[in-house]
Every structure is written in C-alpha cells, then in structure tokens.
Amino acid sequence: MRVLKFGGTSLADAGRIAGVAALVSEAAARERAVVVVSALAGVTDALVEAADAAADGEPCAARVDALERRHLRCLDALATGGRDGGARATIRARVAELHHLLGAAAARRRCAARDRDSVLAAGERLSVVLVALALRAAGVEAEAVDATELVRTDSRFGEARVDAAATEALIRRRLGAAGDRPVPVVTGFVGADAAGRTTTLGRGGSDYSASLVGAALGASVVEIWTDVNGVLSGPPLLLPGARTVPELSYEEAAELAFFGAKVLHRETMRPLAALGIPIAVPNTIAAGGAATRISRAPAIPAPGPAAVTAVEKVELLTAEPGGDRRAGSHGVHHELASAGIEPLASARASADATVSAAVHADCSGRAVATLRRGWAVATRGGLSLVAVVGHGLGRGPALAGSALTALAAERVPLVAAWAGSSPHSFAALVERRDLPAALAALHGRLVARTGAEAR
Ligand code: ADP
Ligand code: ASP
Ligand code: MG
C-alpha cells in the first residue's frame, strides 16, 4: 500500500492535475494507493490574504469569485464528456461557505482563529474535488475524503497538534479495509478537534497528513511529490549549487525541515520513523529522475554533512530578568511556549541570567510582548539562521570546527552559534545580507567536499 502526496506546486493547473492523475493511475494499477493533496498552487496564500483583508473589514467577494473561476476553469478542462459527477455542485457549495465565512468576518472586522482555519481549509476541500475528478477521467474510481474524518487534533487553530492514537484509529476505520474500493483523495493540512471543528496543521502541513495516513495504514512508502528533484543539499533559491541528496536519515530530514527546508513539514518524519516506513521525495515534473529516500540511518553513517539549510528572517531576542534573578532560561522557554512560540535556538552562557533566543521574525513581536512581563528584552533583527546537517555529526568536534573555519575563510561575520546541542547539526546566525555567502561557504567547503553525491 502506497501513499502519494501532491503539493500545490504539482497542482498548478488542469494540465498538471491530469499529470498527477496519470501518476496515481499507474501506482494504483500495481497496489492500493491513497492520495493526499494540498490546495492548488498559491491558493492557501490567497486565502490567508483574504482572511486578513476580511479582518480589516474588506468584503472579499471578488477574491472568492476569482478562486471559484480558477477551480471551475480546471473542472471544465478535466470533466470528460461534460460529466463531472457532482464536482461543480461541490465546488459551488464550498465557495458559498467561503463567501459566508469571509462576509461574516468582514462585518465583524475580525476573523477568529477557528474561522480562519475553516477559510484556509477551503483550499484543500476544493482541490480534492478536482483531483478525484481527474482520476475518474483517467479511468480510476476515486472519492474525495475530508480529513476532518481522519485527523483528530487539539484546538490550537492554525498549528493544531495531532492526537496520534485517535487519528490512527480513525484512519484505520475509514480507509483501512483493503479491496477495490475507490482510491481515496484526502485533504491534506486539515484536521478536526474533539468538538468536530476544523483545524489546520500549520503551513506545509499536507506532508504531515500523508505521513499520518501512511503510518496508520502501514504503507510500504510515503511519497511526497513536489516541484524539485527531492531534498536538495541547500535551499535552491539561495544556493545555485544545491543538488539532490539521494539518502537521508529521518533525523537529518527532520533537522532540515526544522531549520527552514520548506520541502517537508517538520512533523512529517515523526509518525514514520518509529515504524521504519521510508519516505520518497520525487519530482512530479521529472518522475523517474533524481529523488531522495528518507529512512533509518545506515549502521555506518555517511562521512560528511548531507546539506545546509536556512531560515531567512530571524530575530535574536536577549532577555535580562527583572527583579527575580532565578527567572533563567526555563522561565523564558516557559513563557514563550505558553504563547505558542518555539525558539529555533537559545542559550544562557554567562554568569548573569541573560538568555538569548533566536526566533522566526514573524513571531518576534509576540515573543517580546510576552517576555516584557518579567524581563528587559532587546531584539536584533535583520538576521538569518544557517545550519549544517549531518547524521550524528553535531556532537563531535569536527563539524563546528570546520563550519567556523569555512565561515571565517569567506569572511562571513558570525552573530551567534550553537554547537553540541543537537546530535545532527551545527547552527549559526549571520546578518541577512551575508546569508548567500554563508550558505555557499558551508556548502562548498563542507557538503561538496565530503561528497553528498556519494551518499
Ligand atoms: P509543495 O507544493 O510540493 O508542498 P513546497 O513549496 O512546500 O512544495 O516545497 C518545495 C520547495 O521547497 C521547493 O520548490 C524549494 O524552493 C523549497 N526548498 C527549500 N529548501 C529545500 C531543500 N533543501 N530541498 C528542496 N527544496 C527546498
Ligand atoms: N496548502 C497548505 C499550505 O500552503 C498546506 C500544504 O501546502 O502542505 O500551507
Ligand atoms: Mg509543501
């Protein structure tokens, strides 16, 4: 049994959707297949903008109409012989819900977190209809499945946490029995809390949805189809020399995702690693070409780092405790966690109780507001985080030494660095303007020299 997940980049228009249907049709002819999809390219971004605009009081009818037109255009191109099996009516119903949600938010000048998740989930609820239609047009029986039936989460709208046991039971019950039932086409990214309210798993969360399905059903492989040749040895838009990393351990992949490699949602590896189910990352446009396989680390790990990665917009917070000198790093982490913020890296490394924490720039404002209650907080913006990832290399002396040497050799000034805290990586902060040079230095001197190609 195989899980095939297709990202928005693989679903840009009717032609690409038909291409996806051809890939699934081939897979389903050989073994049972479950398909997980995200929204069409750009749709979730458009929905985020619409939710923001509605919260500012903008009636979003024109935005919703544009989304409807785009999906109906795809439908017209995909429906053979004018038969759409109810797809048009379903799209219309989803669009009507969106009009209602956004209209109500605009009238209130507020889009509550739970309504926002229902708005964002519309992207996947529309795309599954088109993918199921394309499959039927390709001669494969398929049914759209809403993941609110499959993925149970808490009520942290926007970044909901999955209840693993409940989710496993739901997926097994709904999709478990083998046989020639229609191929399920599941909405990625979406879940529901115990009260049945729609939640979402955080941006890029469809990868995680696919791995939850794969783990629950004991898949032979979970395939995350995307628009590049697998996981690359660096962020391709910042590092022109990045190339496919053929093999990664679950730990390396999780570390890369945590430190900004958008190709995989950071939770994707967790459900599968325990079971040893491999993940493949192939390219929809170049199926059969270079791809990455993620599985357990080999007994003898590869000789050098697998890849470099980056989080482009980072701020460094420095929190000096107020009256209570005991309010050390534990207090800082506790406060940040209660505001839903997880630092990328943090340290307390001096006699005074000052703690520094690197956070994503878009949550820095919230972090400062939270910490101001007990600390004097200073921020330094305009930074980027770079990390070098290699299985088991983080705790030895060589990785940090060679990374620092590489940065120094290219005269990249260092703002902060973390060595020894992760078994699988070395991380550093640099000025944002130095990011391309930092990545090139680390990749050129560490990854390329130790031969990622040979892995
Ligand atoms: P999808 O729509 O398939 O989910 P995403 O946009 O979420 O695709 O992820 C794929 C993108 O991730 C690539 O187009 C690439 O720009 C970006 N990316 C960043 N770092 C990496 C990396 N190390 N390897 C591959 N892609 C990366
Ligand atoms: N469509 C969602 C997003 O853009 C989920 C995903 O792409 O995985 O974040
Ligand atoms: Mg993605």
Which pLDDT score, from 0 to 100, does residue 451 have?
Answer: 44
> Is residue 289 in a domain?
no
Q: Find out whether the beta carbon of 7 lies less than 6 Å from any atom of ligand 1.
A: yes
Ligand 1 centroid to 265 CA: how many Å? 10
CB 204 near ligand 1, within 6 Å: yes
Contact (Cβ atoms closer than 8 angstroms) between residue 229 and residue 221: no
Q: Decide whether any atom of ligand 1 lies within 6 Å of the 236 Cβ.
A: yes
- Tell me which of 184, 201, 225 is where a domain ends: 225
- Average pLDDT value over all residues in the chain: 93
Q: List the beta bridge partners of residue 429.
A: 385, 416
Nearest CA to ligand 2 atom 9: 203
> Does an H or E element contain 440, and which?
helix 435-442
Which residues, at least 6 apart from 122, have a Cβ–Cβ distance to it below 8 Å?
47, 94, 97, 98
Q: Which ligand is nearest to the CA of 285?
A: 1
**215 shares its domain with 330:** no
Residue finishing a domain among 170, 195, 225: 225
Q: Examine residue 189 and state whether it is found in any structural domain, yes or no.
A: yes
Ligand 1 binding pocket mutation candidate from 11, 262, 442 (most atoms within 8 A of CB) = 262
At 324 the pLDDT is 58
In this prediction, residue 351 carries a pLDDT of 81
The pLDDT, as a whole number, for residue 178 is 62
Report percent pLDDT > 70 for the chain: 96
pLDDT at 421 over 70: yes
Is the predicted pLDDT of residue 62 greater than 70, yes or no? yes
Q: Which of 125, 128, 113, 207 is nearest to 160 (CA)?
A: 113
Q: What is the largest CA-CA distance in the chain?
A: 75
Residues 220 and 318 in one domain: no
What predicted TM-score, i.e. pTM, was given to this entire model?
0.95
From 4, 228, 233, 256, the mutation candidate for ligand 1 (largest count of ligand atoms within 8 A of CB) is: 228
Flag the least confident range among 208-212, 248-252, 357-361, 450-454.
Answer: 450-454
Instruction: Let me know the angle formed at the C-alpha of 447 by 306 and 263, rounded to the nearest 5 degrees.
Output: 45
Section 297-319 average pLDDT: 92
Instruction: Give the end of a domain, one of 225, 249, 281.
Output: 225
Residue whose CA is closest, atom 12 of ligand 1?
263
Residue 255 placed within a domain: no
| Percent of the chain scoring above 90 in pLDDT | 84
CATH number of the domain residue 449 falls in: 3.30.2130.10
Over 60: is that where the pLDDT of 34 sits?
A: yes
Residue 218 Cα to ligand 1 middle (Å): 26
The predicted pLDDT at position 331 comes to 84
**Residue 165's CATH number:** 3.40.1160.10
Q: Is residue 77, in this structure, part of any structural domain at all?
A: yes
Ligand 1 proximity of 261 Cβ (cutoff 6 Å): yes
Per-position DSSP letters for 392-413, written without gaps between them: TTTTSHHHHHHHHHHHHHTT--
**Which residue in 356, 400, 408 sits closest to 379, CA to CA?**
356
Residue 302 — pLDDT band, cuts 50, 70, 90? confident
pLDDT greater than 50 at residue 264: yes
CA–centroid distance, 316 to ligand 3, in Å, is 27
Containing 311, the helix (H) or strand (E) segment is strand 307-321
Q: Which DSSP string do the residues of 63-90 spell out, in sequence order?
A: HHHHHHHHHHHHHHHH-GGG--TTHHHH
Structural domain includes residue 359: yes
pLDDT-derived band at 179 (thresholds 50, 70, 90) equals low
Strands 425-431 and 375-389: antiparallel
Supply the pLDDT for residue 453.
Answer: 44
Which region, left, alpha or beta, applies to residue 313 given φ > 0 means left and ψ of -120 to 50 means alpha? Answer: beta
Residue with the smallest CA separation from ligand 2 atom 4 is 44
**123: in domain:** yes
Q: In total, how many domains does the chain have?
A: 2
269: CB partners within 8 A, 6+ apart: 211, 250, 251, 253, 254, 257, 279, 294
From the alpha carbon of 225, which atom of ligand 1 is closest? 3
Q: Compute the distance from residue 381 Cα to the ligand 2 centre, in Å.
A: 27
Q: How far is CA 175 from CA 32, 146, 214, 238, 252, in A?
A: 11, 12, 11, 40, 30
* pLDDT score at 294: 97
- Residue 454: is its pLDDT beyond 70? no
Query: How far is the centre of ligand 2, averaged over its atoms, from the C-alpha of 332 (Å)?
Result: 31
Q: Is residue 455 predicted with pLDDT exceeding 60?
A: no
> Is the CB of 226 within 6 Å of ligand 1?
yes
pLDDT band at 452 (very low <50, low <70, confident <90, very high): very low
For residue 158, CA distances in Å to 58, 201, 290, 370 come to 22, 6, 34, 19
Same domain, 328 and 443: yes
Average pLDDT of the segment spanning 148-171: 97
Residue 15 in domain: yes
Q: Is residue 395 part of a domain?
A: yes
Residues 311 and 186 in one domain: no
For the CA of 123, the closest atom of ligand 2 is: 1
156 shares a domain with 14: yes
* Ligand lying nearest the CA atom of residue 7: 1
The 10s digit of each residue's pLDDT in 192-226 is 999 999 999 999 999 999 999 999 999 999 999 99
Distance 152 CA to ligand 3 centre (A): 21
User: Which range marks the domain in which residue 343 is found?
Assistant: 307-454
Q: Is the CB of 435 under 6 A from ligand 2?
A: no
Best-predicted range by mean pLDDT (68-82, 247-261, 341-355, 369-383): 247-261
Ligand 1 atom 10 nearest Cα: 263
232 or 285, which is more confident: 232
pLDDT at residue number 350: 80
